[in-house]
Structure 1
């Protein structure tokens, strides 16, 4: 009976229809995941008026979903390594879709906030698992690019929420945009049928027949007709998944990833919350906030996809160090008066090197950790990073209240970019390179299954 190294089959596969399907479903799921997150900002002015909320109360209400995302990432990342990524994705999908729908029934802030917290559990838990799944199935030569294309659904979800908000809110009320967020429930039977589970999880669970079907879809020549095969894949390592993030000389790199996530999300949420206000105070002719958000998100998509392509050519570690350094530079330059063209160019660069870099960080973490603890690694990096996401708006508010010079505000927001770049410098290049390029090196040291 022949033994097949599944990681080698995936690494060497040609991009085909199977990969298109995995990419499409993960991309679509991410769009709705982010849509359900950002629609709060779309309906915020209406809720503040309808429920007579102060700015502080409105900000607190918005933070419920962020808290839920943090706990969701910490819970569903490790859980996926135990029950499979497909099950975790489906649970998260149902959570955020159902409770986005439930939020339309809220008649006062507490009910709304509670439903947003539970929806946040699903929103935060889905992201690391979608990244882990697309990373596992992507061919080696285009792994970073496919991951960042999938995650560019983040920007699409943000633009979709703004566009539908403009279309639906005037005629149908704030509840209408939340109804759209429940569409994944309608698509659930199709997703259950076509979204594959982790191949490594299937093999470790003894589901060799199902694994054989997936391997044949990845590479039709890998298994002959009616051939019986066994699969070689890493055994599930003993002990808690979180502990494994610090073993085999991964400890320093794990902490550095957490720092980079924290700093990057601090910049992302700080920008989203306070950049328009800071720029308006400085007298810049920004025009409508929609054009500003469009420039930021277009920059994010270009940065993510372009960075993914560069990462496959030159290694993501180098790209991330450069991007985070450029984030610090572009944010610093925003503090100085410039013409409209240069201003929008800097805003686009800021989007590419903050939101885009966050997407690249997901891709790098996914490639760094072995298959059996990948979701745990992404989940914990994302969960710790959410603390930075919560700190960003607080930092912006503190800066405004201090009345600092305009340039100083942006200099302070630029510091996290420099710290993030420094943190990535301390990530182990050797381990990441072995794990990314020749995962079978680890597999050959593990006992064969089957």
Structure 2
């Protein structure tokens, strides 16, 4: 009679080792490139305006195109991740956005660049749901949120790099170098992932046909555990703890049992928080300079916004692992006055930079925590799809935020009033997060 190994119990009972650290490093680098690629086009913008002789407003659709592509890519590659594996979906995502970003160097008009950025966005959208799923499925429960947040910090770090490339390389090689860097590196990391990235052991354990791969992976993860060749690996598919083989993903899985309330509330919190984040990220420099802040201070303030978000995510790690959604609910309510008062910090450069650091700590740190919870709340059988739909639907907020900001600017609304209005979706998000905390119950 073959031995039975419960994969969930084995992973939850392990200590973090080199296997986990290597996985974290691989996915951190992937997230770094993902964050770089999203932001790089913004630094190419001023050079395109000058070289193509187009008005700055014409580049708005270029900036939005990748966000719309990310929305679709999150859904598509989330499905691929649950059907064909997280590793396959991640590699396919890296290859697709790498190739299309390289093609962006050949663009000669705004419509061409819009199309290329949209298609690249589809590939970019596949990275985060599968990286979160893979990280969650190899992390012991007591460290799961910490590992996801550390992995996601690669995204915020990568978002700070296009400015460096713009200063050091663009004057010599032109705006195209931003896309050469953003395209070649994902293709290189894709090759490394083919050779080194493990597939999710929990995903492999769902299907008897993948047992040989699952056993080989389990032996790498836990070399001290003797796993016979005929071992039977089981994992929990749902809240009832049943086991079995992989089923084709059905959309209604995201609304079965307790997920009937969890899923729409999670979507709402993502959309509202991303709406505020992208509003701040898109319009703060313009608003600040109109209020008298120097361009250098505005750029530095936005960098501190990213730094604050990274540190906010780090600060939340252990609290989320220990208490789930409770610290996120508390931080959401703290965001209300922080965002609402941010517009009044332009009285001095010091207040402005410090204010954006605090706003980033709360808003972007909160998003890191929500990312971790998305990977925890869904079972293995639909985790990549669950995370992908949360990010996909959340991107609606990411698109609406900058558009709403542009409309308010067109109405000549002051910076102070705009940030006070931005506190409204934060307030709604806080209520949704509180309801999600009450609904989610025991963390998966």
Asked whether the 8 Å contact 1:78–1:241 carries over to 2, the reply is no
State the partner residue of 2:240: none
Deviations 1:21-61 (A, max 9, x none): 11011100011111111110011001112222223311012
Deviations 1:95-118 (A, max 9, x none): 000000011111222222211111
State the partner residue of 2:358: 349
Task: State yes or no: 1:364 paired with 2:396.
Answer: no
**What is the CA-CA distance between 1:280 and the residue it aligns to?**
2.4
Aligned positions, number = 433
**What is the CA-CA distance between 1:192 and the residue it aligns to?**
0.6
Over 3 Å counting, the alpha-carbon distance change for 1:388 and 1:282 in structure 2 is: same
Over 3 Å counting, the alpha-carbon distance change for 1:236 and 1:376 in structure 2 is: farther
Larger displacement relative to structure 2 (412-421 or 274-283)? 274-283
Query: 2:278 pairs with 256, 269, 272, which one?
Result: 269
State the alpha-carbon separation in 1 of the partners of residues 443 and 340 from structure 2.
36
Task: State yes or no: 1:313 paired with 2:353.
Answer: no
Asked whether the 8 Å contact 1:5–1:232 carries over to 2, the reply is yes
| Pairs within 5 Å for 1:15-414 | 15-181=16-182, 182-205=184-207, 206-224=209-227, 226=228, 228-233=230-235, 234=237, 235=244, 240-284=249-293, 287-315=296-324, 317-337=325-345, 338-414=347-423
Over 3 Å counting, the alpha-carbon distance change for 1:184 and 1:240 in structure 2 is: closer
**What is the CA-CA distance between 1:2 and the residue it aligns to?**
1.4
State the alpha-carbon separation in 2 of the partners of residues 430 and 36 from structure 1.
36
Q: Structure 2 regions of 5+ residues with no counterpart?
A: 238-243
TM-score, normalised relative to structure 1? 0.92
State the alpha-carbon separation in 2 of the partners of residues 287 and 117 from structure 1.
30
Larger displacement relative to structure 2 (179-188 or 92-101)? 179-188
**What is the CA-CA distance between 1:279 and the residue it aligns to?**
2.2
TM-score, normalised relative to structure 2? 0.93
Over 3 Å counting, the alpha-carbon distance change for 1:277 and 1:131 in structure 2 is: same
Over 3 Å counting, the alpha-carbon distance change for 1:236 and 1:357 in structure 2 is: farther
Deviations 1:73-121 (A, max 9, x none): 1111122111111111111110000000011111222222211111110
RMSD (Å) for aligned C-alpha atoms: 1.8
